[in-house]
Amino acid sequence: MTIMKNFAMITFILSLIVMMLTTLLSKKTIIDREKSSPFECGFDPKSSARIPFSLQFFLIAMIFLIFDVEITLLLPLVMTMKITSIMTFSIVTLIFIFILLIGLYHEWNQGALNWAL
């Protein structure tokens, strides 16, 4: 038992030393203006590379991802249909879809689904 504790302690100390060394050695001290600027065929860029993106598009994308993950949670319900009764399956499915609809209604009510400002 003490051998395992010693091995764990040595592993922990060794990994801590490696992490400290990489932190110390990886710091860049020289900030070059040319390297931090966007590259456009060797010339100075004509316009800013940091164009603003639509926050509304970002919100729609996040809502899509959330509902997409929830759809993947619906897929295993088909497999549970074989091992449960139809009444239990129906209740669980309806509750899950009801929760999804409440979330959709909330997003709609908050105006996150309106594309025009």
Give the tens place of pLDDT for each residue, 64-82. Answer: 888 788 878 878 888 888 8
- % pLDDT > 70, the chain: 75
Tell me: pLDDT of 13 over 90: yes
Find the radius of gyration of the CA atoms of the chain: 27
Q: What is the pLDDT of residue 30?
A: 66
Tell me: pLDDT of 37 over 90: no
Q: What is the mean pLDDT of the chain?
A: 80
Cα(40)–Cα(32) distance, rounded to whole angstroms? 16
Rounded to two decimals, the pTM is 0.46
Q: What is the pLDDT of residue 38?
A: 63
Cα(65)–Cα(97) distance, rounded to whole angstroms? 16
DSSP letters for 31-83: --HHHHSPPBTTB--SS-S-PPPPHHHHHHHHHHHHHHHHHHHHTHHHHHTTT
| pLDDT class of 108 with cuts at 50, 70, 90 | confident
Q: Are 67 and 100 in contact (CB under 8 A)?
A: yes
Q: What is the pLDDT of residue 16?
A: 94
- For the chain, the domains span 55-110
